[in-house]
């Protein structure tokens, strides 16, 4: 990514939107630098056991080398996904956070994700968040939101009975535990928070988001795109 005071598109997707989803493994797909630089930089607090059902503070990278740039990294990505499934079978799914070289050499992360999702019967989300796509985090937010729209919503049958006071808190990343405080207050006034994402979130909370009656948006800049989509497609106000 662009190593300035601002982040890049990868930082917006991996560091902000997808990274805090606690029960998924997020692969920094590319050279080790971006993953290492973005590893454990934000205090996205979560409840769970690291390495068992939560993976936020762990770092997964495909560690691209010169030979991967020359010959392509699709086979390496397949192998990594298989290894993750062997090592962490309780993970809820995987996201592939692509770094600059992936877009430059034209690797087909979508085809790999479809193939392995079918093989392992698990949600695998390819995110085209290569850093060069935008020199601030903002475009990365948009790309990450589009990945939720295209690869998570309406892909599985969601066994969830919705109620009249169901709300999502969208765009709260639980930096320091603030999302927990918001959730308590909202539930004390009679609302039911069915999803708080992506801070302390599970994949299931995102999957059932379209069943809520209202989206309460905390960080407008990072999540307005998905809230607009839910309003247009499902009629959920925000």
Tokens describing residue 66: 């010169």
Catalytic pick among 9, 11, 209, 212? 11
> DSSP letters along 189-218, please?
TT-EEEEEEETTB-HHHHHTGGG-SEEEES
Q: How many CB atoms lie within 10 A of CB 106?
A: 7
CA gyration radius, the chain: 17
| Distance in angstroms (rounded) separating the CA atoms of residues 207 and 48 | 19
Q: Which residue has the tokens 């601030």?
A: 136
Residue 147 annotated in active site: no
Does 11 participate in catalysis according to the annotation? yes
Catalytic residue status for 8: yes
Q: How many CB atoms lie within 10 A of CB 84?
A: 20
- The H or E element that residue 169 is part of is strand 166-172
Q: Is 100 considered catalytic here?
A: no
Q: Which among 6, 42, 218, 221 is annotated as catalytic?
A: 42
User: Which candidate in 128, 133, 141, 183 is catalytic?
Assistant: 141
The residues carrying an active-site annotation are 8, 11, 42, 141
């Amino acid at each position: 990514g662009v190593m300035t005071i601002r982040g890049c598109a990868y930082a917006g997707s991996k560091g902000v939107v997808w990274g805090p989803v606690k029960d998924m493994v997020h692969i920094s797909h590319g050279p080790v630098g971006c993953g290492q630089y973005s590893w454990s930089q934000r205090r996205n607090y979560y409840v769970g056991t690291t390495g068992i059902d939560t993976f936020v503070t762990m770092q997964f990278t495909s560690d691209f080398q010169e030979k991967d740039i020359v010959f392509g990294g699709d086979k390496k990505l397949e192998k990594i996904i298989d290894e993750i499934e062997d090592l962490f079978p309780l993970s809820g799914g995987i996201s592939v956070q692509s770094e600059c070289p992936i877009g430059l050499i034209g690797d087909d992360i979508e085809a790999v994700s479809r193939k392995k999702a079918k093989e392992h019967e698990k949600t695998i989300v390819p995110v085209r968040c290569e850093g060069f796509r935008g020199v601030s985090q903002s475009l990365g937010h948009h790309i990450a939101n589009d990945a939720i729209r295209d690869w998570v919503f309406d892909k599985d049958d969601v066994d969830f009975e919705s109620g009249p006071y169901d709300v999502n808190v969208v765009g709260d990343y639980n930096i320091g535990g603030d999302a927990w405080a918001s959730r308590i207050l909202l539930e004390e006034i009679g609302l039911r928070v069915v999803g708080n994402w992506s801070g302390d979130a599970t994949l299931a909370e995102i999957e059932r988001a379209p069943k809520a009656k209202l989206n309460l948006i905390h960080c407008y800049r990072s999540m307005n795109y998905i809230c607009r989509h839910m309003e247009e497609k499902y009629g959920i106000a925000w």
